[in-house]
A = this chain, B = another copy of it.
Amino acid sequence: MREGPDIARIAGLVGDPARANMLNALMGGTALTASELALEAGVSLPTASSHLSKLLEGGLLTLASQGRHRYYGLAGPQVAGMIEAITGVAETVGPRRVRPGPRDGAMRVARVCYDHLAGERAVAMLDRLVDKNVLVRDDKEIRLGASAGSHFAAIGIDVYTKPRRPVCRACLDWSERRSHLAGTLGAAILDKILMEKWARREKDSRAVVFSPPGKQAFEKVFLS
């Protein structure tokens, strides 16, 4: 019977199937409307609305009203990290290692995590960037290396116009159990990948699938 942060309150919010589905959908990074989330969760609109106000009240979501639309999004990277942590546990203690389906495989290779790329390919990318001293890993913190400016400028990403959020962050990957790159730089790289059409987002999934030439281009830029 001890005091402290109310962890039951937070976990309880995630602990309802409908809400968990919504949060999962929002892990894709794009904010969604109430009706889209209702569809995702498989519940009626009033029910979804009720859940959303609870999540909002609980501080796990943010709301942006635009005209008659109301866009709900994850409250921040920390919330996303928590979801990944829970997913990791569910993955290991869950159904005794069910054989991974094809989509599951694609998810392991590359997927969206909030606003940046995750999975095998993302972990490899960060490793390589650190090897090349473009980025410097210093504990969980990741900093820009000396050559970062020119390296990213070459592919049209400006890393020196400081935004509010940190440029680099490490985010733990639940399938690889290692870190991948988050922060505004991680987000910018994902943008680049989608913008150049090196890969596209799988419909109704967090999976990101690379086209063969897209994969080559990606490897040339980030893994060479």
Contacts and interface: CB of A to CB of B under 8 A. Distances in A.
A86 interface: yes
Chain A binding surface, main DSSP class: helix
Interface string A15-30: 1110111011100000
Interface string A195-224: 000000000110000000000000000000
A172 B88 CA distance: 15
Contact of A93 (B40, B75, B94): B75
Contact of A5 (B5, B94, B130): B94
- The size class of the interface chain A forms with chain B is 35 or more
For this chain, the copies found in one complex come to 2
Contacts of A15: 8, 11-15
B86 A2 contact: no
A155 interface: no
A88 B205 CA distance: 27
Contact of A83 (B7, B13, B16, B42): B7
